[in-house]
Amino acid sequence: MPKESMTAFEHLILPEFEKKEFLRTPQNKLCPTIDATRLMVEILWGLSEASGEFSESQYASKLILDGKYALVLRYKREKDGKYHPACTLWFDTDDFWNIQVNQLQWSKDKHIAFRFHSSYNSLAYYLQVLEETFLKKWIYVWVEAFPEWLEGAAYSSNAHQSYHILRTALEGLNKKYGLEKKS
């Protein structure tokens, strides 16, 4: 990758975790919610491709990650004090600086999945990251219309709905900033 293409990633904008639009109240009022101070974003792209960096982690068997760049939301469990991956967004760039979101995946790790997913809106978080980091800098961001990833094929998965929300939101944001895919 040319050196000049690295500059947008060096100035990645990560919003505060505690913003009201990211926190959810679970339907079951007795369900404990996550504490946003226990969240972190792992940025995979600096040393090698994100897939290579993630494959070396102890959680590589719990999430699929295959791409050049990834942002992994991690949640620190109270029980063990370790940061577990809760949600990943991975993407690639093309020669024209378009950003293609390849996958948005939520962990199925039973130790954190329900608590995290029911009390944190990671889709809204990632959308704000994409808007602040790329779209506001006139970089087009898009998602394929029909995702073919493994988790989307599961009957009980709501991945198709989430991809539709992500794709629709990105289409609206691209229009808001007057962006078109460069080719």
pLDDT digits (tens, 9 = 90+) for 18-41: 888 998 887 777 777 778 888 988
Q: Measured at the alpha carbon of residue 64, what is the angle toward residues 55 and 149, in degrees to the nearest 5?
A: 150
Distance separating the N- and C-terminal Cα atoms of the chain = 17
Q: What single-letter DSSP state applies at residue 32? A: P
> Which residues have CB under 8 Å from 56's CB, separation 6+?
none
Taken in order 105, 34, 111, 156, is the CA torsion positive or negative? negative
Q: pLDDT class for 63, splitting at 50, 70, 90?
A: low
Kindly report the pTM of this predicted structure: 0.82
* pLDDT of residue 175 exceeding 90: yes
Bridging pattern class, strands 83-93 and 141-143? unpaired
CA 128 to chain centre: 10
Length, in residues, of the chain: 183
C-alpha–C-alpha distance, residues 162 and 159, integer Å: 5
Whether the CB-CB separation of 68 and 92 falls below 8 Å is answered with yes
Q: Can you tell me the distance from the alpha carbon of 92 to that of 111, in angstroms, rounded to the nearest whole number? A: 30
CA separation for the pair 82, 85 (Å, rounded) = 10
CA-to-CA separations, 47 to 22, 61, 133, 134, 155, in angstroms, rounded:
30, 21, 20, 21, 36
- Write out pLDDT tens, residues 109-156: 777 777 788 889 999 999 999 999 999 999 999 997 765 555 545 545
